[in-house]
Each structure stands twice: as structure tokens, then as C-alpha cells.
A and B are shown apart, each in its own frame.
Chain A
């Protein structure tokens, strides 16, 4: 092991000694013209197309002031409200909430009556019991998950 480490160290010193003689690469002659062109391109940009930190100081101060004023105004007066949508009665001709609710209840009652008369009382009772159990289970499972997530947080 010591021999290996010693060899590693000697290799490192050998590489240091050899690589220290590695000459600098000569930059291509095209580099300086390319840099000049890039700088000229940057200089020709109007101030508002440069990064914000390179804007003239006055414009930077003005932009901060305007942004602050806009933010303050929006929090004071609130965001503009969307126009209110009319009631369902305006959208659907002949719509009346009470009549619609009564109609839905009548439909459910009619369906239950048909189920009781055709499928039998016991069948309906079992179906209702299963549905109730599933509903309770989903409520219980949801409660457990919610409590676990709250406890984890």
C-alpha cells in the first residue's frame, strides 16, 4: 500500500514537473477582432435593452419609484374586478331555482319508489347499507390521511 501511495505521489510530482513546462497556447488572431465586434455591439444597444443594472442611474431610480407606486396603488384600491355574471335565470330561459329543486327531488323519489317495488325491500336496504358503509369508509380514510399529513408536517 505504501509503495502504491509512494508511486502515486511520485507520479503527481512527475506530472507537476512536466506540465509546468506546458507552454501557453497562442490565441488565434481572430480573437481580438471578435471581442471588439462584441463590445461594439454591446455599446450600440440602447440603454433600455441593456441589463437593468447598466441603466442610467436616473432611469433606475424612476423605474423603482414607478414600480413601488403601482404596487402601492394596487394594494390600496385592489385589483380590478371582473364584471359580475348574471344569475342562472338570466342565462337559461324559464329557469326557477325552487321549481328545479322540487323537480330533482320528485325524480329521486320516483326512482326510489320504482326500486322498492321492483327490486324488493331487502335488496334496496342492502344496496343502501353498502353505499353508506363505503361513504363512511371514505370519510374515515380521508380523515386518517389528513391527520397523518398534518402530523408529518
Chain B
């Protein structure tokens, strides 16, 4: 690395995107900051390839996502017994009866409401939040998510459905004001 200033600019350009990816997946500020730091340290090690900036965004997002999933996997391994016991119940229990709104096309959130939305995502149970973020923010399909998280396809679908339903419930006050 010959030019620290250009690396600083690189970090400043992408830090919000990397931090947001980590925070959405981990739901924890401190862990998200650790993952963001590790992502940029890896970028520094690969600076020769990333310096031109053409594919840096995608590279950083992928590295941050993989680091988060590794982190979550390590955490989950400590509680495998309990999560396995709970998973069986989750897959068998019926899905909640939440109906999609008809008037969502025109919904536009204000800045305050967007903050409420972020808080609502963070407050989701971990399995639901991770599956929802991978599907809606990272653009993975159900099968890819099941493979990444090493869980069944049914569990992924159930988690995402429940996450959406929980978001609907939490955003109910917003719906009354802007039709979400």
C-alpha cells in the first residue's frame, strides 16, 4: 500500500455499505464494526486488485456477508442442540395468518419511518432476520439461503414468511399514516 490517502478515501466511500450489510445480518453494532474492520483489512491485503475500484463494491459486500455468516455459524454451533430442538417445532407449526396489504404501491417512508423500519429489522429473531436480509437485501434465492445457512428449504421459507409478517405487525402504525 503506497498511498494511505487513497485507501482512506476507499474506506470512506464504502464503509456505510459494508457496515450496513454487517449490521443487518448480525443485528449488533459492536459485532458489525468488527466485521467491517476485518472486511477492510482484507481489502487492504488485496489492494493491488481492488485499487481501480471497478468491482470493489461487490467484492466488499461478498466478503462482509461471508464473514457475518461465518460468525453466525460459529455462534450457532454453540447452541446446536437447542436450535435443533426448536427447529422441529418451527417447521411443523402453522404459519401465522397475515394478509398482505392492497395499497402498498404508493407507500413512501419518511426519514423517521425508515429509522423505525431499521429498528424493526434489528428486533427480528436472529434466524428470521438473517433469512430476510439474505433474500431481500443480498438477492439470494431460497435454495441459496438454505445452502448458505445449512438449514432446510422449508425452514428458510417459514422464517422469511414470519419475518415479513412480523415486520407488517411492527409497521402497523406507519401503515395508518402512509399506507404501508
Contacts and interface: CB of A to CB of B under 8 A. Distances in A.
Interface of A: 7-8, 10-19, 21-28, 30-32, 34-36, 38-39, 42-43, 54
B132 interface: yes
A38 to B, nearest CB: 5
Contact of B136 (A10, A16, A36, A42): A16
Interface string B1-32: 10010011001100111111001100001001
Contacts of A10: 100-101
Given A11-B100, A22-B121, A32-B11, A42 B44 contact: yes
Interface stretch (B52-60, B67-75, B103-111, B144-152): B103-111
A75 to B, nearest CB: 36
Nearest to A23: B114
B114 A21 contact: yes
B99 A7 contact: yes
Contacts of A12: 164
13 contacts: A11-B164, A11-B165, A15-B136, A16-B136, A18-B107, A18-B167, A21-B108, A21-B117, A23-B114, A24-B20, A27-B18, A34-B33, A54-B45
Contacts of B104: 13-14, 17-18
Nearest 8 pairs between A and B by C-beta? A10-B100, A27-B19, A27-B15, A25-B20, A11-B100, A24-B20, A24-B16, A14-B104
A77 B180 CA distance: 80
Given A19-B117, A19-B137, A35 B37 contact: yes
Contacts of A11: 98, 100, 161, 164-165, 168
B118 A22 contact: yes
A25 B19 contact: yes
Contact of A14 (B1, B36, B100): B100
B153 interface: no
